[in-house]
Chain A
Amino acid sequence: DVKVTQSSRYLVKRTGEKVFLECVQDMDHENMFWYRQDPGLGLRLIYFSYDVKMKEKGDIPEGYSVSREKKERFSLILESASTNQTSMYLCASSLDGPGSYNSPLHFGNGTRLTVT
């Protein structure tokens, strides 16, 4: 069974702090994703990565960056946290390649971040 682990379930940070959200998956998946979830807005893609050291911007990358130094780990970085980044953050992973078009995303349990 795929396991995607997010390091923190709840996090409270102050405005202006640099924040790291960590995500690790144990199924050797090539693809990893960061979404944020807000009431009434669904899930919106922040960044994703198809391989080590590569990253692609999603729909709402502003104010965020990512790091993927190892295949199993994908970190989301808030360079200078702001109150409008208070949200639920969901990490996911999936298989890649032409044969995996029906491969679902496997999600972690989420990190609820509050920026005060």
Chain B
Amino acid sequence: AQKITQTQPGMFVQEKEAVTLDCTYDTSDPSYGLFWYKQPSSGEMIFLIYQGSYDQQNATEGRYSLNFQKARKSANLVISASQLGDSAMYFCAMREGDSGYSTLTFGKGTMLLVSP
């Protein structure tokens, strides 16, 4: 079974609108962390936001927020007020366990296109 599932291969949104990118995960470990990365066409992977399994509040970083629903095992990324520069590939990833020794498992990604 896939550990990280991103069901939206592509998403379209108009500038200034909000968009939600879906991510569901599968783990039996009570300690885990969820990460979102952005990859523009230039290729670099940019870390956006982190949510720990024990965090009580949903993570936020500027225009990015994480809609964390633990019972549903979902960690959706919400981008508010989309900008043209948000057009990119977005990856959800998970680290299981509470040490830094475990690796990140990535989903297949969602391509976001923001139109004027």
Contacts and interface: CB of A to CB of B under 8 A. Distances in A.
A95 B100 contact: yes
Q: Provide the main secondary structure of the chain A interface.
A: mixed
How extensive is the interface on chain B, given as a class? 20 to 34
A58 B99 contact: no
Given A42-B108, A101-B95, A107 B45 contact: yes
Contact of A33 (B35, B97, B98, B103): B103
B50 to A, nearest CB: 5
Contacts, number: 70
B93 to A, nearest CB: 8
Interface residues of A, number: 33
Nearest to A103: B100
Interface in B17-69: 31, 33, 35, 42-45, 47, 50, 52
A50 B101 contact: yes
A45 B103 contact: yes
Interface of A: 31, 33, 35, 40-45, 48, 50, 58, 88, 90, 92, 94-110, 112
Given A41-B108, A104-B47, 19 more contacts: A31-B100, A33-B104, A40-B9, A42-B106, A42-B109, A88-B43, A92-B45, A96-B99, A97-B100, A97-B101, A98-B98, A99-B100, A100-B99, A101-B31, A101-B33, A101-B52, A109-B42, A109-B44, A112-B43
